[in-house]
Structure formats: C-alpha cells, structure tokens
Amino acid sequence: MQIHYLSENNSVLNHFLGQIRNVNVQNDSMRFRRNIERIGEIMAYEMSKNLNYRNIEIQTPLGIKKTTEIKDELVLCSILRAGLSLHLGFLNYFDNVENGFVSAYRHHYNNDDAFDIKVEYQAVPAIANKTLLLIDPMLATGQSMVAVFNKLIEKEQPKEIHIAVIIAVPEGIEYLKKHLPDYCHLWVATLDEKLNEKNYIVPGLGDAGDLAYGRKL
C-alpha cells in the first residue's frame, strides 16, 4: 500500500486541521463542517496529482491551447454520516464524478467495548474498471473502512483504489495494510498517536459526525 502523508510540510492544511481539533472552535458546527470541506478540497487537489491524464486541445477566442484533462472515470464514495462534509469538499474539485454512499457503524452487541461493524445502506454506481475514491474523516481500527470496501467489491472490481482519511492512527493503517490490496493508495491528512481502550483516536478530535451534524441517540 502506498501511503501519502499530507501534513508533513507546513501549509494551510495544518491551519484547518488545528481548527477542527480545537474545542474552542469546533463547537461551531457550521465552521466545523466548512473546515472539513476545505480539508477535502486540499486532499482532492493532492490526490489529483496521482490520477491519469490525457492530452487535449482547447479552442480559445484567439487560438488553440494544448493542455490535459483527467482520463479516469471516478467514483467518489463516502461513509455515512461523518463523511458527508468531506465528500462535498472532494466534489467541489472532482465535479463530474459519480457518487456513492454507504452506511457503517460500530455495533456493540454486549453493551461493552467489544463491537463488530454493520454495513447496511448502500447507494453506489457501477465501479467496474473505474477509479474508486473511498473517503471517511477518521481511520481508527480500520474495520469500518475494510468492511465497506469488501461490500463494494462483492460484484465488481475497480481499476484503481484511493482511500482518503483526515486523521489516522498506526493501528488502523496496519489493519488496512493487512486486509486491502497492495496497490491501494492511502491518503492521510495527519497521523495521530494511538487508540485508547475504547478504540477512540488520541488525541483525535471527538466524534466527527456529532460535531458536524449534532449528537445522535
């Protein structure tokens, strides 16, 4: 798996990452959503450098200009509900993609810390021989991402796979390395320290879905 760490060099990305973590800023849900969206835009731009392009000619008012355009057929798929704001950021840059949405959540079957992943709702276009962009803000254990990926490829195989997360931990990255194809690209905005005893990211930012859209029951 090829891993791209985007926050190693100082940029405005780190500015937005700091704001979504800051408890004095993140409680403004509209600002939180917008910052997630802007992070998605930056990640989409960085990811675009690794896509495939073709040469084209553009007619301008004064002549012909040779340039390039994205060759890949892109399918942008996010995990509900936390992925919605990030999805919008990617969609602002990849504005002609097909879109997919999948729900995944931790099911605590004994009302303790143990859980499995439930993947239920799915609305996804055909992905065969296309470039799949699978996104979710947080990569904790990695189980949700793998469960969703396995659901998506039950009937069709994409040509290329790019996975994008804002915050990841080493445990989640190792889980993806073990369970996903080697040719996947993993895009990580920033790497955190570890998971705690409840499998939450530390220092993390809290629950991205709750911060963006309000607390759930």
- In angstroms, the CA 107 to CA 147 distance is 13
For residue 128, the tally of other CB atoms under 10 A from its CB is 12
Percentage, residues of the chain above pLDDT 90: 83
Res. 108: pLDDT tops 70: no
The per-residue pLDDT of the chain, averaged, comes to 93
Q: How confident is the model at residue 79 (pLDDT cuts 50, 70, 90)?
A: very high
Residue 69 to residue 67: CA distance in whole angstroms: 7
CA angle 22, 24, 28 (to 5 degrees): 95
Mean predicted confidence (pLDDT) in 39-63: 97
CB neighbour burial string for 98-125, b if at least 16 within 10 angstroms, e if fewer = ebbbbbbbeeeeeeeeebebebeebebe
Give me the residues paired with residue 162 across strands.
133, 185
Dist. CA 5–CA 86, nearest whole Å: 17
pTM for the complete prediction? 0.92
Q: Is the pLDDT of residue 64 over 70?
A: yes
**β-strand 131-139 against 160-168: which pairing, if any?**
parallel
CA distance 149 to 180: 8
pLDDT at 21: 96
Digit-coded pLDDT (tens) for 116-150: 778 888 999 999 999 999 999 999 999 999 999 99
Classify residue 208 by its DSSP letter. Answer: H
* pLDDT score, position 82: 86
pLDDT at 33: 96
- Can you tell me the distance from the alpha carbon of 16 to that of 67, in angstroms, rounded to the nearest whole number? 32
**Residue found by looking up tokens 């799949």 in the block:** 132
